[in-house]
Amino acid sequence: MLDNIMDILFEFATDIEEKSECRNTPKGLFYQISKLETGIFAEFWNTVLQRFNSNSSKTLQSVQLNLNAAVGVLKSLKDFINEQRTKFDAFEEVGKCLTDTEEYIVEHHRLQRRNVRQQPLDYGHSEEAQLTPKEAFYAKAFLPCVDKLLMCLEHRLGAYSEVCDLFGFFINFPAMDSESINIAAEKLSAFYKHDLGTTFGDELIQFQSFISLFLDEKPDDCSIEQFMYSTINDKDVRDTFPNTEIALKIYLTLMISNSSGEQSFSKMKLIKNLQRTTMSQSRLTKLSIMSAESDILCGLDFFQHYKDLCCSEST
């Protein structure tokens, strides 16, 4: 793929029938892509993004998200990224083949000499390390890139781990024993002390017996948390299991467990940015909400509103 891009850029850059400014842009891009550093990063990101896309993104965006599995996927992905530190030489070899060069771009800079008069004791100071171009690229570009990626993964992993620690027991809820249910209920009610009552543990134990009667009705494309919440509403037992319904509702409405909600907020941002110069903030907000709640909007009858509007315009 990179070879094809370079061939096309070279063709445009050497086409004498094109204007000079039209040739300069692909010429500059060709020069940048031809660098060994670009080839190394191209192979690195190809390796990393394949792992991100092949399992991580699809798992984390699934409507049947398993929090325990999601945490495991993120931890394994973090370990995979960390292992890339030791594979720089392999990336370099592939980069040499992609760019057909073995030379790094050498940065020339003047070495700063220490003032002996101001620092006569020469304590705690050493000469500036002289790195080869390869060592400089590895230390100043490759490692910071890996470290930044690891830091972002650690941040997201922390969010998933926190939610999993509170709500992860719902995944195996039908098979849990009473003691484990009480421990999980105590931890969750302590975190949401203003939302869940003190009898949450006993309520969950009763709910386990209740939900076991309907497990054979669970669709294959429905998560266990969504099924339990839907069963409470479909069987109209919200008054019997009020705390359980609240706990499931909290979990199902968290952004971390609701990929469709995340997509809705992304769409809201897109709408606001697109129409920002032509609409007021109030109208933008209302339009965004209408887009996010499109399923409710489609079920409303606007005929009377259209009729009233036509009458007002005609008069």
Per-residue tokens: 270: 């897109």
Q: Which range among 52-56, 83-87, 164-168 shows the weakest confidence by mean pLDDT? A: 52-56
Closest to 91 (Cα-Cα) out of 51, 131, 55, 142: 142
Mean pLDDT of all residues in 110-119: 55
- Can you give the pLDDT at residue 34? 77
302 and 199 assigned to the same domain: no
pTM confidence score? 0.61
Residue 50 located in a structural domain: yes
Question: Could you give the CA distance from residue 100 to residue 34 in angstroms, rounded to a whole number?
Answer: 8
193 and 271 assigned to the same domain: no
Residue 310 located in a structural domain: yes
182 and 271 assigned to the same domain: no
Q: Which range among 27-31, 166-170, 199-203, 237-241 shows the weakest confidence by mean pLDDT? A: 27-31
75 and 141 assigned to the same domain: yes
CA 76, 64, 289, 302: dihedral to nearest 10 degrees?
Answer: 160
**pLDDT at 261 > cutoff 60:** no
Question: Could you give the CA distance from residue 125 to residue 131 in angstroms, rounded to a whole number?
Answer: 18
Residue-range definition of the domain harbouring residue 265? 259-314
Closest to 242 (Cα-Cα) out of 209, 195, 205, 210: 195
**pLDDT at 112 > cutoff 60:** no
- What digits encode the pLDDT tens for the residues 150-202? 998 888 888 888 888 888 888 888 888 999 999 999 999 999 888 888 888 99
- What digits encode the pLDDT tens for the residues 89-101? 999 998 888 888 8
Task: Read off φ and ψ for residue 219, nearest 5 degrees.
Answer: -70, 155
Q: 183 CB contacts (<8 Å, ≥6 apart)? A: none
Highest-pLDDT range among 104-108, 243-247, 297-301, 302-306: 243-247
Range 238-241 contact pairs with CB under 8 angstroms and sequence separation of 24 or more: 241/203, 241/206, 241/207, 241/210
Q: How many domains does the chain have?
A: 3
Residue 44's pLDDT band, with cuts at 50, 70 and 90, is very high
DSSP secondary structure, 236-277, as one string? T-TTTSHHHHHHHHHHHHSGGG-HHHHHHHHHHHHHHHHHTT
Residue 68 located in a structural domain: yes
**pLDDT at 19 > cutoff 80:** no
Residue 202 located in a structural domain: yes
235 and 270 assigned to the same domain: no
- Can you give the pLDDT at residue 204? 93
- Can you give the pLDDT at residue 71? 81
Per-residue tokens: 158: 């922390």
Instruction: Identify which has the larger pLDDT, 279 or 313.
Output: 313
186 and 209 assigned to the same domain: yes
- Can you give the pLDDT at residue 271? 52
181 and 141 assigned to the same domain: no
**Cβ(73)–Cβ(163) below 8 Å:** no
Question: Could you give the CA distance from residue 63 to residue 273 in angstroms, rounded to a whole number?
Answer: 27
Question: Could you give the CA distance from residue 8 to residue 126 in angstroms, rounded to a whole number?
Answer: 49
- Can you give the pLDDT at residue 182? 92
283 and 229 assigned to the same domain: no
- What digits encode the pLDDT tens for the residues 301-313? 777 777 888 888 7
276 and 300 assigned to the same domain: yes
152 and 195 assigned to the same domain: no
Neighbours of 235 (CB within 10 A): 14
